[in-house]
A and B are shown apart, each in its own frame.
Chain A
Amino acid sequence: MSTPRSWIRRLLVTLLLAALASGATAQAALTEGDAPLSVPIAQLVTHAKEYDGKTLTVEGEAIGDLMKRGDHSWVNILEDGVAIGVWLTNDQASCIHELGRYGNSGDLIRVTGTFHRACPDHGGDLDMHAETLQILRRGEKHNVEATPQRLAVGIGLCILAGILTLIWRYRERKTTGV
């Protein structure tokens, strides 16, 4: 048989659990609501004023070079033909292994950080200052092979051009005597 005291204890425990549960739900909702907005790079560049100073997430292929500047580095990331510079720590930069170039696709990365329309620290550059960096897919090398037909056409044309040039030079020498 339950006493009034045990009822009060049960009620308090229930209330505590309910409060914890509602708190956790609220926390989850807050996290979901405040998750940095994921924006395509092209949209970011076109609507730079709108996103200036906001914490955002962008995704793209790391291209070109990792340019080390002291304890930070620059890397440019490309998405749908538009690239943006990302300012990140050397530790974050060390996660990037492949950079997109000819015959090479770079690592696909997700960067969360602060977007600047005209960065006061970097001479007014439009850039992102990374807070977190995530590698979504590793880049890889691609073999760009020459087709035998193209090679054959190239060699054939060069031989023809060489013969014609020799005839022209021979005729020139004969005419001018030089």
Chain B
Amino acid sequence: MTKNDSLKDMRIILYYTGNILVGVALLTIIPLLTALFEHDAASAADFSISLGVTLTLGATFCLLGNKGEQAGWKHGMVTVAFSWLVATVVAAIPYWLSGHFSSYLDCVFDVMSGFTTTGITLVQDLDHVPDSLNMWRHLITFVGGQGIVVLALALFADKGGGYGFYVGEGKDERLFPSVLHTAKAIWRISLLYLVLGTIAMWVVCISIGMDIGRGFLHALWIFMASWSTGGFAPMSQNMLYYHSRSFEIVTFIFFIVGSFNFALHAAVLNGDRKELLRNLETMSFGTTMSLLSFFTAWGLVKCHVYPNLVGLISKGFYQLASAHTTTGFMTIYPQQFVNEWGDIAILAVIIAMMFGGSACSTAGGFKGLRVGILFKALIQDTRRLLGSSKAIVIQKYHYHGDRTLGEQQVRSAALVVLMYMGIFAVGTLAGCMAGYPLLLSAFEAASATGNVGLTIGVSSPSMPAFLKLVYIFNMWAGRLEFMAILASAGFVASLFRGGRHVHA
């Protein structure tokens, strides 16, 4: 690669990163309007600073950058990785100005947690934060679920291409041949659910005794956090604040639905309901959820944690489903995991967090598709071993049509799972190095890596800065599913190689 090529590439990346920042800047108008509507001048000033900085940076990047002929795969991948980092740093400005965080690193941690739909929070005195800040927190998680680049594609893309951007953000399922149409379809589906879901949640909020105004805001925020499998909540007790089984049931439905593949939503909305039952991913999710529910119930009953079946379901099953869909909503205190749940139930939750939800959804983790593919590969290899040496064993599966399992799919799935396990191990090791016991370190690392948000009490403003940085990296890498990060590392390496080549 020559120096000119590198410069050309960097200008293209800068241009598209600028576009994404302009998109993020436009989003800050919503909390700004919330603050103005509530006559909260202090928060309005904070959000106008954030809007100004983000838009200035975005427009400057666009002016310095170059659109180029057509952004290639490489540009898309590097832009995604780079823009997620820059967007996270600038989106943290209102957090910092609010005075509810002990350091800027904590603000960055929280924004990364939001964009990646993780939901672990380091905010202090959450019960007294302004509505505009809560709006921003939940908006970040809602947009992060669909993908900030998918949003930018839907807003600004004016021609074909862009597949590299789309895949870089951890989505590879095209609902339409064009990526632009796919991005717009994802947003149409999400906005449709946003309207219906907020109305449903609002009814529940009023029925459990909240007033109309606050009920609406809580309904909107909780829906955003459920659908995007984010896990943020406007109150420090998370879902326990509401003390309501109906609230738990409705959020349960939304986060289960939110963890499904967008292609599955499109199929069901187009009348193909059979796909729901035949799809490898839903079958994989159903199987692992059932098995892990059994072990969780076993562990909780063994330790006599809950006095009746309602308690077992409301606490045990809800926490497990929240973990498996990588939502992170909690109806118990973190200390209760440690002091009451016992090792079997905690281990089941850790496994659920690692498995995660569906590919091309708002969920994190390995994804049900990869778990299903590896399981099918295991069956195929077992059949090969047991059958005749000359027999050709073909393994089929259903995933938006009947497909034959290929070596490449198995290899890709295995590599991603391996990389997840790698950063999970790093996160666990970092937790142990910070002085936390192994089980607690593993739980928190699984939560950060799988973009879940359940916490066992490790994540707090007082945890060491290096552990915060490790979790930030795990959330980022886990959400982007490594490809964009590996491509960026390769790109940076090529810049150095190119530089050496030119000087030589």
Residue of A120, A154, A157 near B311 (CB, 8 A) is A120
Contact stretch, chosen from A16-24, A28-36, A141-149:
A141-149
Residue among B44, B58, B124, B127 having the largest count of chain A Cβ atoms under 10 Å: B127
Establish whether residues A154 and B237, one from each chain, have CB atoms under 8 Å apart when the complex forms: no
Establish whether residues B59 and A168, one from each chain, have CB atoms under 8 Å apart when the complex forms: yes
* Residue A37, interface by CB 8 Å: no
Contact stretch, chosen from B45-53, B162-170, B387-395:
B45-53
Establish whether residues A102 and B209, one from each chain, have CB atoms under 8 Å apart when the complex forms: no
- For A, the interface residue count at a CB cutoff of 8 angstroms equals 60
Establish whether residues A46 and B240, one from each chain, have CB atoms under 8 Å apart when the complex forms: no
Establish whether residues A124 and B312, one from each chain, have CB atoms under 8 Å apart when the complex forms: yes
Contact stretch, chosen from A3-11, A65-73, A107-115, A130-138:
A65-73
Residue among B42, B51, B97, B131 having the largest count of chain A Cβ atoms under 10 Å: B42
Which residues on the B side are within 8 Å of A45 (C-beta)? 333, 335-336
Residue of B52, B56, B240 near A125 (CB, 8 A) is B240
Which residues on the A side are within 8 Å of B315 (C-beta)? 118, 123-124
Task: Decide yes or no: A165 and B59 within 8 Å by CB, A124-B307, A124-B310, A157-B52 being known contacts.
Answer: yes
Which residues on the A side are within 8 Å of B67 (C-beta)? 175
Q: How far is the CA of A125 from the CA of B46 in the complex (A)?
A: 37
Contact stretch, chosen from B241-249, B398-406, B483-491:
B241-249
How many residue-residue contacts, CB under 8 A, span A and B? 173
B238-281 Cβ-contact flags toward A at 8 Å (1 or 0): 00111111001000000000000000000000000000000000
Establish whether residues A168 and B62, one from each chain, have CB atoms under 8 Å apart when the complex forms: yes
| Least Cβ–Cβ distance between A9 and chain B, in angstroms | 60
* Residue B314, interface by CB 8 Å: yes
Which residues on the A side are within 8 Å of B51 (C-beta)? 154, 157-158, 161
Interface residues of A in 133-178 (CB under 8 A from B): 144-147, 150-151, 153-162, 164-165, 167-168, 171-172, 175, 178
Establish whether residues B42 and A161, one from each chain, have CB atoms under 8 Å apart when the complex forms: no
Residue of A101, A150, A154 near B128 (CB, 8 A) is A101
Q: In this complex, what residue of B is CB-closest to A162?
A: B55
Establish whether residues A49 and B339, one from each chain, have CB atoms under 8 Å apart when the complex forms: yes
Establish whether residues B340 and A49, one from each chain, have CB atoms under 8 Å apart when the complex forms: yes
Residue of B125, B209, B248 near A66 (CB, 8 A) is B209
Interface residues of A in 70-94 (CB under 8 A from B): 73-74, 76, 78, 81-83, 85, 87
Q: How far is the CA of A165 from the CA of B306 in the complex (A)?
A: 58
* Residue B381, interface by CB 8 Å: no
- For chain B, which range describes its interface: under 10, 10 to 19, 20 to 34, or 35 or more residues? 35 or more
Establish whether residues A167 and B45, one from each chain, have CB atoms under 8 Å apart when the complex forms: no
Which residues on the A side are within 8 Å of B97 (C-beta)? 150
Q: In this complex, what residue of B is CB-closest to A84?
A: B237
Residue of B52, B127, B248 near A154 (CB, 8 A) is B52
Q: In this complex, what residue of B is CB-closest to A117?
A: B340
Q: How far is the CA of A165 from the CA of B52 in the complex (A)?
A: 11
Which residues on the A side are within 8 Å of B340 (C-beta)? 48-49, 117
B23-59 Cβ-contact flags toward A at 8 Å (1 or 0): 0010000000000000011101111110111111011
* Residue B161, interface by CB 8 Å: no
Q: In this complex, what residue of A is CB-closest to B310?
A: A123
Residue of B42, B210, B241 near A146 (CB, 8 A) is B42
| Least Cβ–Cβ distance between A102 and chain B, in angstroms | 4
* Residue B331, interface by CB 8 Å: yes
Task: Decide yes or no: A100 and B45 within 8 Å by CB, A68-B209, A157-B52, A178-B158 being known contacts.
Answer: no
Residue of B41, B128, B333 near A102 (CB, 8 A) is B128
Which residues on the A side are within 8 Å of B347 (C-beta)? none
Establish whether residues A124 and B306, one from each chain, have CB atoms under 8 Å apart when the complex forms: yes
Residue of B25, B55, B236 near A81 (CB, 8 A) is B236
* Residue B332, interface by CB 8 Å: yes
Establish whether residues A83 and B49, one from each chain, have CB atoms under 8 Å apart when the complex forms: no
* Residue B208, interface by CB 8 Å: yes
Q: How far is the CA of A3 from the CA of B335 in the complex (A)?
A: 74
* Residue A96, interface by CB 8 Å: no
| Least Cβ–Cβ distance between A133 and chain B, in angstroms | 17
Interface residues of B in 202-227 (CB under 8 A from A): 208-211, 214
| Least Cβ–Cβ distance between A56 and chain B, in angstroms | 17
Establish whether residues B128 and A157, one from each chain, have CB atoms under 8 Å apart when the complex forms: no
Establish whether residues A78 and B42, one from each chain, have CB atoms under 8 Å apart when the complex forms: no
Establish whether residues B339 and A76, one from each chain, have CB atoms under 8 Å apart when the complex forms: no
Establish whether residues B45 and A154, one from each chain, have CB atoms under 8 Å apart when the complex forms: yes
Establish whether residues B332 and A126, one from each chain, have CB atoms under 8 Å apart when the complex forms: yes
Q: How far is the CA of A95 from the CA of B40 in the complex (A)?
A: 29
A47-B339, A67-B244, A160-B52 known; 18 new pairs, CB 8 Å cut-off, are A46-B335, A48-B340, A49-B339, A63-B235, A64-B235, A65-B211, A81-B124, A83-B241, A85-B241, A118-B305, A120-B307, A125-B314, A157-B49, A157-B53, A158-B51, A159-B52, A165-B59, A172-B62
Q: B interface vs A, CB < 8 Å? A: 18, 22, 25, 40-42, 44-49, 51-56, 58-60, 62-63, 67, 97, 124-125, 127-131, 158, 208-211, 214, 235-237, 240-245, 248, 305-308, 310-312, 314-315, 331-333, 335-336, 339-340
Shortest beta-carbon contacts, A-B, top 7: A157-B52, A124-B311, A154-B48, A67-B209, A161-B55, A123-B314, A164-B59
| Sample of 21 A–B contacts (CB below 8 Å) | A49-B339, A65-B214, A69-B209, A74-B209, A76-B235, A85-B237, A101-B128, A103-B40, A118-B305, A118-B307, A120-B307, A150-B49, A150-B97, A153-B49, A154-B45, A154-B52, A155-B48, A161-B53, A164-B59, A168-B63, A178-B158
